[in-house]
Chains A and B, each alone.
Chain A
Amino acid sequence: GAGVSQSPSNKVTEKGKDVELRCDPISGHTALYWYRQSLGQGLEFLIYFQGNSAPDKSGLPSDRFSAERTGGSVSTLTIQRTQQEDSAVYLCASSLMMAGGTETQYFGPGTRLLVL
């Protein structure tokens, strides 16, 4: 079946503008994750959704970042008042089980965000 998809694939925005990044997980996957990958860096955990439980937001770098997951499927990551340091590749992943990080995560291709 289809893998994790993300849109847009690339986004260029001006400093101070808001952006929304979308993730469509694999159908039936109950867990969804957002990561940020800055140039030359590893992946930085941002937020985790598991079924109907409250999301783990402990990785969000500031209150300008928020995410929601509607209907247990599609997720949107919103960055308000973007800053140049927000420029990065934002990766989404989903996994089948509700056991959290111990299950295999399947990654989308990412959204490359450039803040001018």
Chain B
Amino acid sequence: AQSVTQPDIHITVSEGASLELRCNYSYGATPYLFWYVQSPGQGLQLLLKYFSGDTLVQGIKGFEAEFKRSQSSFNLRKPSVHWSDAAEYFCAVALSGASKIIFGSGTRLSIRP
């Protein structure tokens, strides 16, 4: 069955430290891949997306993600986190032309001062 896994429920990093949030998917073909962020009291905001081409994707707020076909992964990274990055992060996948986006269960990021 098609699925998206975010193995880390909650991560805490120090401000200024680097960050990597993991995302693995299970699909028969290469899906379209997304990362969304949900700040407290806010709607979901798209950070970045991968459809094709360069496997390293740059997004907003200094985030990037790398698609690794061999590992069925699309991990989100940021070299230096800021306190304002504290939020819930969702990885999502969709098949080309599909009406549904399948979301992972999310990773809550806390920032240690």
Q: Interface residues, chain A, CB within 8 Å of chain B?
A: 3-4, 31, 33, 35, 40-45, 48, 50, 56, 58-59, 91, 93, 99-102, 104-110
Contacts and interface: CB of A to CB of B under 8 A. Distances in A.
B43 A42 contact: no
Contacts of A109: 41-43
Tell me the dominant secondary structure on chain B's binding face: loop
Interface residues on chain B, size class? 20 to 34
Contact of A101 (B6, B41, B101, B104): B101
Contacts of A3: 43
Contacts of B41: 109
Contacts of B36: 107
Interface string B90-106: 10101111111111111
A39 B40 CA distance: 13
A91 B43 contact: yes
B102 A45 contact: yes
A102 B51 contact: yes
A41 B105 contact: yes
Contacts of B46: 104-106
A42 B99 contact: no
Interface in B54-100: 90, 92, 94-100
Contacts of A45: 100-102
Contact of A100 (B97, B103, B106): B97
A104 B45 CA distance: 10
